[in-house]
Structures are given as C-alpha cells and as structure tokens.
Structure 1
Amino acid sequence: METKRIGIFIRVSTEMQVQDESPEHHEQRARYYVNAKNWQVMEVYKLDAVSGKSVMQHPETKRMIADVKSGHINGLVFSKLARLARNTIELLEFSNIFRASGADLISLAESIDTSTPAGRLFYTVIAAMAEWEREEISSRVAASVPIRAKMGKPLGGQASFGYQWVDKELVINEQEAPVRKLMYELFLKYQRKFSTAKALNDAGYRTRNGSKFTATSLSRLLRDSSAKGERRANYTKSLGDGKAWVIKPESEWVVMPCPPVVSPELWQQVNSLLDIQEKKKSPGPKAVYLLSGFVKCTCGKPMYVYHTSKVYACAKCRHRIAVADLDEIFQVYLKEYLESIEVSSYITETESEIEQKQALLESTRKERARLQRNIDAWIDMRSEQELSKEQFAEKYRPAEERLNQLDKQLPMLEAEIDVYTIQLLSSDTIMQDVHNLYSQWGVMTFEQKRSIVETVVSSITIGKEDIDITLAYIPQTPLNAKKGSHNVMDSYWR
C-alpha cells in the first residue's frame, strides 16, 4: 500500500506569541502524528502573520492547493479547523478541493481524519453546523528576553541525569544515578543505542521529565563526561528552533570536577565503541533472515544461521531448526494472535490509554505553568533588584531548561492522544486492518515484514521439543497489545 504523502499547514497570526500556540509547537505536534501513522511529510506550508480573511489568496495556500491537485500530497495535517479556514463557506471550499482530488484533511484539535470513515462523518457534521470565527489569542511579551540579553549566553543549565544541584554544588542524585550507570552497562551488553533505550524503557525507567529514553537522548548521556567525574559547560550551542546542537571549539569549554557515577575505564570503553560505530556510519549488519536477532536457545545463548545451512543453531546445546520452518511457525502464530483480538477489549483499553495520556498531559501542563510562575516571579524580583544577577541565574537557568523539556513533551503527548482518539473513532476499520494483516503477509516485501517483526517480537526461544514465542505488541493497535508468550508444540522439527 502506498504511503500517504502529507503536507503540514501552519497559519501564524501576528498575535501567536504564546508558547503553547507557537508555530514550532504545531509543526512538532503534526510531525509526531504523521510519524505515528507511518506517513511521509512532503511539504510544510507556513502562512506567516496572516489574518483569516486572506487565507485562500495567500501564496502558500495556492502552492498547497496546486500540490493537492497535482497529487504531490494527498493529505493535509493542521492544528485546528479555525487555523485552516475562517468560516463554513471557506471550510467547505477546502473540503471540495480535497475531495475532488482524493486527498484527506486531518484536524488534530477536533480529532478529524477524513481518511477514516468516522473522520469523514465528523468533518461533514462539524463543517455543516459550525461557523468558525477567526481566532483571537491574547499575546504577552516574555519579560525574560531583555534580561537574558543583558546576561549574555548562559554557561550553566540543569544538572544532567544522575545529578542535582545542592547549595550550588553538583552532587549525585541517588534515585537517578543507578539508572545512569545502568545505561553504560546495558550498552556494553547490547552495543546498540536503540536496543539499550528499549531495554531501559521496557524495565520502566524514564527520563527526568517522564518520557521514554531514545537513541538520541541515550547517546547524549553516554557521551556526557560528567558520568566519569568531568563536568563540561559552555561546550554546545543551538542552531536554532531546537533542531540541532553543535559542539563549540574545545578552547571555549569549561571543565570542572564532579562526583563520578561510573569508572573512567567504563566510560572510555563505551565511548570508544560509540566512536567505532559512528565511523562505520552503520549500526550493524542488515538482517538477512526474517527472525534473525530474536531467536535464542533455552540455555540463553543466541542462535545464528551458519554459512549456507539455512538452519538456526545453538553452538552450545546443538538445538536446530530450519529457517523456513520457523518462518512458517511464526506466520501461523501471528495469524492466531491477530484473530484473537476483540474490538470490545480494544475500545476499552484505548479509552483507558487516552485517559492516562490526558492525565499525564494535564500534569505536564500544570508543571509547566508552575515553572512559568516561578520564572515570572524571579524576573519581577530581579527587576526590583531583590535578586542579584548571580542569584537570578542560579534559579533561572535550570528552570528554563526544564521548561524547554516540558515544551518538547507537550506536543508529543498531544499527538499521541490525537492518534488514539482518531483510531478509537474508527475502531471497526482499524480492527479489520489488523485482522487482514495475515492475508497481506504474502505480498509484503522482506523489509515490510522485517519492520513488523522488529515491532512485534520480543523473543523466540527454541527448546528441544518446543518453541516459545513472546510478542511485545501488535502494529497499528499498540493500545490493544499485551505482552505474552505462547508455546508452539513441535510439529515442524527436522
């Protein structure tokens, strides 16, 4: 099936000054949604400082419409209907253009995705009943900007994971430090950043702001020399828009001693391995067999396909199974597992997941509001000279870093809720897609099948007379997935 080609539509009013309504926030939220649907972003249309009256005539809108008619994009994601059109007539005009071209409209705030049956119904109802007035957002100027300019570029920041500031001293955080140390040990075991992050997440560990570890965040922490007792400051700078950071010249670094979390030898061993992997520009060899990397023996040793034998074998126990036989067993098991999924349990678990995500989103918003109140209070105190420049910096810098972390987390949480909500509206269609996965298996490419295996499989254990398959979760329905294993009796042994 062809991947949907998506455009992201962002209309920026002159008053869109509030962080929660920033264009960067909306674009990030949209990208998270598109990635979750396995679609592809082709274009981003930004209408800067545009009032609702001029939307249709704006050059970016015309470019977008031309891309829709030519087939360059066949879907448009935007934050809310009021950002796309100023009233029902204009909204329906967009609708007619997209419908005629076989393209879809996806509004995140209203949970409308016209690529789904429920989305098409909701779009029609809402467009027919509502008169969307132009949005008015109260703007405010961040009082911290001129103060930050006078202070210059901050040298410090929030303590890295595993540490905390106590009386202006960087000390070990007893709760986080064991996890920081575990990162290095797991990386030596798996020798892959993605696998290490997955192991941490699966074990229930989270970053300081409650999000999952990623290969990127893990790499940053593994590279951070504070873990071995050398804290660096003023060694990175942002390229803007929070998209990338670069290393400054070493002459500008400030290096100070701090308590170590791991030994210098362990830190060096991990970073030497990272250096080798980055030089290769490849995380590892490409999988040749569908289930390679997931098959292990009951003794705990991984099973490999040696030479041209086409047989998984354990060098220790001599357990063996043909590649073709194991592929067939896995396919049959996947079919049985998919057919066992019920719509009712999917809906119940999806609703529960949405509630949990919404609770986390609300908690994150409250935490951001609390931090912002603190920052505003410190700014007022600094303006009244109740705080010295040094005292203000000590309070402001860690809080600002934390604020930036929460601002990155918010659109991610919102996008997750968007995906789950829209999936719930079309649960029957989604479940049909899941049940059809087995019938589509035969026409999928090796890369598509391998992607599903990497998503679904936790482990496959081969015994003398049995096979134990443990699935992590099912693609397209992550909310319905349950970790579980099934013993497949041996009827395929050679």
Structure 2
Amino acid sequence: MESKKSVGIWIRVSTEDQAQGESPQHHEQRARWYCEAKGWTVATVYHLEAVSGKSVMEHPEAKRMQKDIKEGFITGLVFSKLARLARSTKELLAFSEYFQEHNADLISLQESIDTSTPAGRLFYTIIAAMAQWEREEIASRVAASVPVRAKMGKTLGGTAQYGYRWEGEKNAKRLVIHEEEAAVRRLMFEIFLQCKRKKTTAKELNKRGLLTRNGSKWTDNSVDRLLRDPMAKGMRRANYTKSTGNKKHWELKPQDEWVFVDCPAIVSEDIWDKCNNYLNAQAQNRKPLGRKTIFLLAGFVTCHCGRKMYIYHNHPVYSCRQCKNRVPMDVVDNAFHQMLEEYLLTDGDVAKYLAQSERLMAEKQALLANSLAESKKLKRQMEDLEDMRLKREITSDRFLVRYKPIEEQVAGLDTTIAELEAAIASINVQRMSSDLVMQEAKKLHEQWPTLQFEQRRTIVETITESIVVEKDEVTVCFSHLPAPHLSENAGTRRRDYRGS
C-alpha cells in the first residue's frame, strides 16, 4: 500500500495580519483541514510569525524546512498564500527551484496552487519562465559590455587559458605566456603531428606525468579544445560563447559577434594550421550520429508484472525482459488514442464531477459567508462587553457570565471558518486540475495529427497516470481527479488489442 504524503505547514503571519484577526492558529487550522481532505499526514509546522519578508530565506525555520525537504522528511509545504511564503519574486523563484529540484510540492491555499496536481504543475513552468527571463535580463546587461572590453584587450573575467596567465593590476591586466604550461602545450602539438590521434596524444602526455592545471589527466576532448583554439597561434578569441543556463554547458555565438585580439603565440601559425587541417578532415570522415529515437508513450508503458516496458534496438515493439511480454508500439499508441476519444466523448464522469463541484463550492461559500458575518457580529458584542467592563458599567461576575459563551461560540466559528476555507481551496484546486486535464486531453484528441511531437509528449505527461499492458489488453489510467463519490476507476480505460 502506498504511504501517505508527508507535508509541512508554513505559518508566517505579520503583526498587521494578526491585528486584522488572521491569527497563526487560524492559518494552521485551515491548512490542517486541507491536508485532512487530501489524505495527507502533517509531519511538522514551521512557525515564522511576525518575520520580515526580507529575512525569510535566512530564518532558522526556513533552513529547517529546506533540510527536511532535502532529506525527504516532507514532500510538500502547505501555506496560506504566496505572499506568506516569500515577498520578493527572487525569493519565490529560489524556493520554487529548490522544491522542484527535490521533487517536492508547493501548496498555496489562496491562489489554489497545488503542484501535486496537473494544473498546479503549470506553476513550476511559469516560475521557470520567470527565472529564465530574469537570468536573460541580467545576462543581456552584462553582455552589452563584453564586446567593448574584448576589443580593448581587457580580461572578461575567469582564469587564463592553459599556457597563459594574467599579469598586472586589476584594471590593467595583460595576457602573458606561462612558460611551464606553454612547454606542455607545444609538446601537445608536436605529438599530435606525429600520431594524428587525440586519444594517443592524451595518453602520451599522461604517460609522461604532464597533467592539466588542476592535476587531472588529459582526455581527447581537452586535447581537441586546446589544439583548436587560435590563441595558441597568437589570436585570442573573445565574446564567442554564451551560457545555456547550465553551468557545465555553453554554446557558440554567431561568428560575426566574435572578437579577436592579438596575444603572444605558443606555436607558429603553420603548425597550428597543419593540426587543425587534420582535425577537420577527421571530423568530416567520421560518420555522424543518428537522431536519438524518442517514443511518445515511453516511460508510461508498464507490463502486468510491474516492470517498465522498453523499446530495444530501435525495433518499434515494447518489451518486458522479465516475462517476455511484447506489444507493437503502434498498437499501444492507437489504443491510447482510441481510449482517449471514448473517455472524452462518451463518458460523463468528469462533466458530472465538475457540475457537482460547482454546486458544492456554492454551498461552502454560502456557509463561509454566513459564518464570517456571524463571527464579526459576535466579536463586536465581545468588544462592547469589554468596553462596558473597562468603564465599570458591569460587574466582573456578570461580565464572565455573558462573555464566556460568546467567546466559546467565536472559537467554534473560527474552527468552522478554517474548515470551510480549506474545503473551498481543495475543491478549487481539483476543479482547476480537472479543467486543465479536459482541455489538454481534447487538444490531444482533436489536434493529434497537427501537433508537434514535443507538444503531444507534454500533453501525454499532463493527462496520463499509467499504461499497463496485459496479455491481451491495454489499460490506460488518465489523471483527472474524480470526486470521492465517483468510481475509483472513472479515469481508467481498457481495450483488447489482440483481437482488434
């Protein structure tokens, strides 16, 4: 049996919020009701009452929360609204990226964001787009100054390439030859001219105990990079790469943006040209790698024995190596599409669920409005009694007799209000998720022939829970969220493929 999802509750209520009646206890109770409605276990509560939004990330409770996420103690965080999690966009991006990195969910009750649902997962997409935009804005400002500095021959940051070093003060640095490294780099060219093999060159350098600057062994890739770089023949190349967002990967800019600056040469232009002519000829003769095959339903297809089924050796057949179960890829694809059509066009479960959700939402909202109004009225009565007591217009005994029942009634209403708010948030999250699933599934069915592979794959990932291949049938479980009173298999379809 699958274990319950373990989550934490995040409580950060400002002094101003508390003055307006939003107590930490109220926020916690509402979050607990939401977790109970979802069947989740509340593992811990993080209290950051009256904490400034600017210091959230460095707060001890925030550090504890991140540690719990990293160690898997919790897999989700429930909070009242995004502004309570973080006040700045930068901080929100940081939290979101951290949660996505550790496969954990963010649940905001007010914004109806629950990243454990298909609709909520769009939140990560939006946040990632915002983060990318922010990175590109910063990069564009930095990039604007790079060509100017490059043409002036100034350093653009970072360490000098192997065989060189920067010399001088910070704002007046110049590139000079590092004699010991330059000798190794010259030897690299000499060895390659003799053997004409990058791996052999690397092995020979390593055999002689001549390692890289950081003490690593040479590889064919590191040899290729240094042989090809024109800096060795006295042409320092700058402003020729840009970041891809991944620290370990970069890509070349258009050549018309490159900047070349004279620098001290390690080898002659003739030697550099000979080596690079060999490298270019070898690259042209090498058979290019074929495009990696990507299959639409890969990763979702599972054998009835519980093992994943894969397509091996480019044969379009899903196979299970455990029990030798096999089914052609096009059979699974066609069955998926047909079951999707049946599910959308002949099944009223989702539509019925949405209609019932609307009615239930209206009922809960009406009850909430009444409860809030009644609570507000009773709190005014409490304030009047308190004022009377301060003015000694009522005795202590009479005050307690009249005040205590009202106080208990208000406490009961506060619990009811928290429960209703949590129920409304839960219904809203489910309704949004079901709406999204229906829209995306209809796109898959209606526009299937015209959608690009990447679009179809994204939609499949959004609406599909699993695809199980039995001996004579395919079972697809779609990921809409049926109401509790509907069948557990409302989103499941089966089709006999052996006899079709």
TM-score higher than 0.5:
no
Computing the radius of gyration from Cα coordinates, the structure with the larger value is 2
**TM-score, length-normalised on structure 1?**
0.44
**TM-score, length-normalised on structure 2?**
0.43
